[in-house]
């Protein structure tokens, strides 16, 4: 494995001091009584040091809308020292259309607008996905999970924002090492909208909870397999052994929980490799 890029290990190590940004969408959000639906986009900010994430909804993919989303992130996370924006063209289908919209953003205006905050911008070269490798595991899976959950969902701007912030809390609740077994789960939230007389706060709250629950299970299916080693071993790999710490996954694991276990017994197969353990 190659060394980490220097931008990911520079001082200071303050969260979001060095941040990358990626995009997902569009998502349709209903307006008023639902007769009109407008496109919304997700700005995915990732701390290059801690892998913490910050999700912001953009009301369009013009430069001004992105700068507003960036300013909202800065107001809560602090001013980044450096920003990385993926400028790749290796997208297909709907994502290719999204990338075309992103490429139309005025990068000079983005740089000028943040010059007084001393933010240094880096735009990844085209066809270089390894430059944005921080997105290739957890972020890629999370984007796919969010799009699957809210695609064509009957959801308002407010509820879509709530889903984004709840997904953010779940992503940030994951432990980086086994010492982080006491990570907190996502916070509680409520939805407050103004609608006609048939509006049911409890029903809408349950709707958002269901979307967040769906995201949690979908993201686990997308992300956890990426932690596994390749099935085709080109070089000998170390088997699991007694004392190793592992993530214990079950279909009934509570949302936002990351139960960890320690192996107490290994059960080698006929070929001598360990595929079954007890904890």
221 belongs to a structural domain? no
201 belongs to a structural domain? no
At 62-110, the pLDDT tens digits run: 888 888 888 898 888 888 888 887 654 334 444 555 566 666 666 677 7
Greatest mean pLDDT among 27-31, 141-145, 201-205, 236-240: 27-31
Q: What interhelical angle do 157-172 and 201-223 show, nearest 10?
A: 40
Residue 246 CB contacts under 8 Å (≥ 6 apart), including other chains: 240, 260, 261, 262, 263, 277, 279
Domain membership of residue 266 as a residue range: 245-278
At 216-246, the pLDDT tens digits run: 777 776 666 655 655 555 667 788 888 888 8
Q: What is the pLDDT of residue 108?
A: 75
- Structure token pair of residue 218: 């979908």
177 belongs to a structural domain? no
- Structure token pair of residue 147: 């799009």
Peptide bond into 75 cis (omega under 30): no
- Please give the distance of CA 100 from its chain centroid, rounded to a whole number: 21
Alpha helices, H only, 55-156: 63-77, 93-103, 107-113, 138-150
User: Which of 107, 134, 161 corresponds to the end of one domain?
Assistant: 134
From the CB of residue 116, how many other CB atoms can be counted at a distance below 10 Å?
7
Range of lowest pLDDT (178-187, 227-236, 256-265): 178-187
Q: Count of domains in the chain? A: 2
Do residues 171 and 163 touch, judged by C-beta distance below 8 A?
no
153 belongs to a structural domain? no
Helix, strand and coil in the chain, % to nearest 5? 40, 20, 40
Domain identity same for 130 and 1: yes
190 belongs to a structural domain? no
User: Which of 108, 134, 160 corresponds to the end of one domain?
Assistant: 134
12 belongs to a structural domain? yes
Domain identity same for 1 and 128: yes
Give the residues across from 36 on adjacent strands: 31
102 belongs to a structural domain? yes
Residue 115 CB contacts under 8 Å (≥ 6 apart), including other chains: none
113 belongs to a structural domain? yes
Give the CATH number, domain containing residue 25: 3.30.420
User: Which of 134, 166, 198 corresponds to the end of one domain?
Assistant: 134
Greatest mean pLDDT among 7-16, 25-34, 66-75: 66-75
Of residues 226 and 146, the one with the higher pLDDT is: 146
Range of lowest pLDDT (12-21, 167-176, 222-231, 243-252): 222-231
């Amino acid at each position: 494995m190659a060394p980490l890029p220097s931008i990911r290990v520079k001082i200071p190590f303050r969260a979001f001091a060095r941040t990358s940004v990626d995009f997902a969408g569009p998502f349709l959000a209903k307006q008023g009584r639902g007769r009109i639906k407008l496109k919304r986009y997700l700005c995915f900010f990732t701390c290059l040091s801690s892998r913490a994430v910050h999700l912001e909804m953009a009301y369009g993919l013009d430069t001004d809308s992105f700068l507003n989303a960036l300013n909202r992130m800065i107001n809560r996370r602090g001013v980044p020292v450096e920003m990385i924006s993926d400028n790749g063209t290796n997208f297909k289908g709907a994502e290719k259309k999204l990338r075309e919209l992103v490429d139309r953003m005025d990068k000079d205006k983005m740089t000028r607008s943040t010059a007084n905050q001393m933010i240094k911008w880096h735009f990844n070269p085209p066809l270089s996905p390894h430059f944005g490798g921080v997105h290739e595991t957890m972020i890629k899976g999370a984007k796919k999970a969010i799009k699957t959950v809210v695609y064509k969902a009957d959801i308002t701007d407010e509820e879509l924002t709530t889903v984004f912030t709840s997904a953010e809390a779940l992503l940030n609740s994951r432990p980086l090492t086994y010492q982080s077994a006491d990570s907190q789960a996502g916070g509680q939230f409520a939805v407050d909208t103004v609608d006609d007389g048939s509006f049911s706060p409890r029903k809408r709250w349950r709707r958002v909870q269901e979307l967040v629950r769906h995201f949690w299970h979908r993201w686990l299916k997308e992300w956890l397999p990426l932690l596994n080693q390749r099935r085709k071993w080109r070089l000998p790999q170390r088997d699991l052994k007694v004392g190793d710490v592992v993530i214990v996954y079950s279909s009934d694991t509570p949302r936002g929980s990351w139960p960890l276990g320690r192996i107490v017994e290994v059960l080698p197969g006929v070929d001598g490799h360990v595929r079954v353990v007890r904890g």
